[in-house]
Amino acid sequence: MADEFDLLKAENVEKLDIIPEIVEDPDESKKRRLSGWQFYIVAAIAIIASCFHLYTAAFGLFAAMTQRAWHWMFMGTLLFLIYPASQKKGNKLKISIFDWIPAILIIIGCANILLNYDAIAAREGAAIPSDIYLGVIMIVLVIEGARRSLGWPLPIVATLALAYGILGPYMPGILAHAGFSYEELAPFMYLRTDGIFGVPLGVSASFIFLFVLFGSFLSTSGAGQFFIDLAVGLAGKSQGGPGKAAVTASGFMGMVSGSSCGNAVTTGAFTIPLMKHSGYSPEFAGAIVAAASTGGQVMPPVMGAAAFIMAQFLGVSYWEIVIGAAIPATLYFISIGAMVHFRAGKKRMPRLTDEQLPNVRKVIRQGWFLLLPIVLLVAFLAFGYSPTMAVFWSIVSLVAASWFGDKEHRMTPRRIIEAMISGGTGAVDVAAACACSGIVIGIIAITGLGLAFSSFVLSMSQGILPFALILTMIGSIILGMGVPTTAQYIITSTLAAPALAQMGVPMFSAHLFCLYFGVLADVTPPVALATYAAAGIAKSEPLKTGFTALLVAAAGFIVPYMFIYNPGLLLQGGVVHIVFASLTALIAVVGLSAAVQGYLVDDLNPIERLLLVAVPFLIIYPTMISNLIGAGIVTAVYAKQKGFGKKKNKLEGGTV
């Protein structure tokens, strides 16, 4: 989740000697590279923000509005100091007056809440002129901050939402509403927990920042290279080993990362060249890393920060979300691993030798302590501790355990400072997305747009669930293009999930369905941000890599329909039902992977491929007959190919 700190020039690295060499993230190019006193101011704010959130994790959160105001004061200030208004070279080397002014206005707006909230609450919503003025300023700053850090898509959505709130009487049909003036909207967005300081920013202030910080501590202690070495050592010797290593490494990184692009460049920097060297085409190597990195957004325990917001929206524990999402995410990664396996078999690729692989025992011996905090995190959550307490003690355990490892991985005071700087600045993007999403959520709440959208989906689908799911899928993918995972999930789940719930879909299933398809926008051309990041490393043609990634991620388009119709995949129901659902779904995604690659035990003929393509659709709806037919097709094709292979080997007098 945490992006690497990108505010430094060489002279500061020499002074502090705390910033390791890293792979350049495409998103990082937006950030300034500061020096001198400006760098130290930004670093100090990031460190103070990290200390504040660690303090509240250890000793308890403040009241909702207070916690969120402090959080946005830190994040909003950092946002305008590290992101320039434009990408001109001169703007990226120093902070101008046009950056200091909005940063100071953010502080004033948040300080007003912190110092005067009792008086604000006593007015019971009655706004005074300062509420309106500061509200307008805060809305403008949130939208501009999101533009700087996230690009145009989310700010455009927020601006259109505000226009819809004002122009309600002029809207057609079910979209029409009474309309609100800016004097009403501004204080609503600014001073209520339904707007900018709503649930999304609250989750960022309570949970997400800490997990960003946790990821930063892991990264600073060498977790990225450790996960890659471990993945290559474990999977590298099997058929398609380098590709499986890429999938495994992305899964590991996805546990603590909330960025598809960041995950792609971190793991891809090592695994893509290894895959190309082993015989994979540049397009396929980039596609595998992009698809697997995108899967990190739905992989527990972090799930791109969506898990925390989902728990708040549904009113359930964070652990329930993590457990329920585990099987679908595992199926997705298995399908990508199967794609790699079958591709290697089709291309007859050689396996890596022991000399080409890291020694697993040595890797674990040197970095075992990096696994401890992740295990501890899951254990704390499993035993009912809050996410804030769980991640706090995971950070503490990482710092303590690092002193039992090699010197180069020990969390010295110098490295702790680095992690705090990196974590403080790395949380800015998510906070910006949450604040800007709050504007959209506020408009949906005050205008009743959610009910209108639900009516639209129900009307268009004529009450037929498959049609409603397809409409939701298309809408989620479109809204997810260029929009961060957190913001995409917030918007789509608020609009579409209630419509699915009205058709009998459990709310958790509906929310997870929206999340999956919003995430898959990162590998869906023409936007496909994760694909472009991976294509840059693979030196492949981006659009071709994008369509290849779309095929590689094919299971991601099937699995959500499976858990909608079969709640056993979300660990709901009896043990027998869950096991049967998981096994049939596993058969389906493996069969689909074989069909896409045209290989199972041997090359598939056209009829075999068509039969295997049909298997997932047979297993989506959980009837015993359709499931048995699907399993029977895969078994029959496998048996036919296995027997054919033996016969051919015998005729040729040797093994293939």
Q: Tell me how far apart the alpha carbons of residues 212 and 130 are, in angstroms, rounded to a whole number.
A: 34
pLDDT digits (tens, 9 = 90+) for 326-359: 999 999 999 999 999 999 888 888 777 777 778 8
The rounded distance, in Å, linking the Cα atoms of 84 and 94 is 9
Residue 340 tokens, joined: 């790699």
**511 Cβ contact partners less than 8 Å away, ≥ 6 residues apart:** 310, 313, 314, 489, 493, 497
Q: How confident is the model at residue 591 (pLDDT cuts 50, 70, 90)?
A: very high
Per-domain boundaries in the chain: 10-200, 224-291+321-355+448-483+499-572, 579-656
pLDDT higher than 60, residue 28: no
In this prediction, residue 306 has a pLDDT band, given cuts at 50, 70 and 90, of confident
Q: By the 8 A CB rule, do 249 and 227 touch?
A: yes
Tens digit of each residue's pLDDT (9 = 90 or more) over 523-560? 888 767 788 778 878 888 888 988 999 999 999 999 99
Strand pairing partners for 603?
A: 599
Residue 655 pLDDT grade (very low, low, confident, very high; cuts 50, 70, 90): very low
Radius of gyration of the chain (CA): 25
Residues 563-591, mean pLDDT to the nearest whole number: 92
Which one has a higher pLDDT value, 51 or 444? 51
At residue 248 the predicted structure's pLDDT band, cuts being 50, 70 and 90, is confident
34: helix, strand or coil: strand
Q: What is the mean pLDDT of residues 289-300?
A: 85
Mean pLDDT of 499-507: 90
Query: pLDDT tens digit string along 258-286?
Result: 567 767 776 777 778 878 877 889 999 99
Average pLDDT over residues 374-381: 83
Query: 146-155, 252-261, 309-318, 591-600: which has the highest mean pLDDT?
Result: 591-600
State the maximum Cα–Cα separation within the chain, in Å, rounded to a whole number. 91
Mean pLDDT, residues 395-406: 86
Mean pLDDT, rounded, of the chain? 84
Residue 255 has a pLDDT of 61
Q: What is the pLDDT of residue 656?
A: 29
| 66 — pLDDT class (breaks 50, 70, 90) | very high
Is the model's pLDDT at 25 over the cut of 70?
no
Q: What is the pLDDT of residue 162?
A: 96
Q: Is the pLDDT of residue 232 over 70?
A: yes
Token pair in block for residue 550: 């779309």
Question: Which residues are 34's β-sheet partners?
Answer: 8
Residue 254 confidence (pLDDT): 64
Residue 216 pLDDT? 87
Per residue in 542-574, is it b (16+ CB within 10 Å) or e — as a string? bebbbbbbbebbbbbbbbbbbbbbbbbbbbbee
- pTM (2 d.p.): 0.78
Contact 363, 233 (CB under 8 A): yes
Q: What band does 3 get if pLDDT is binned at 50, 70 and 90? A: very low
| Residue 401: closest CA among 213, 227, 218, 211 | 218
- Give 433-467 pLDDT, tens digit per residue: 889 989 998 998 899 887 788 788 888 888 889 99
Is residue 2 scored above 80 in pLDDT?
no
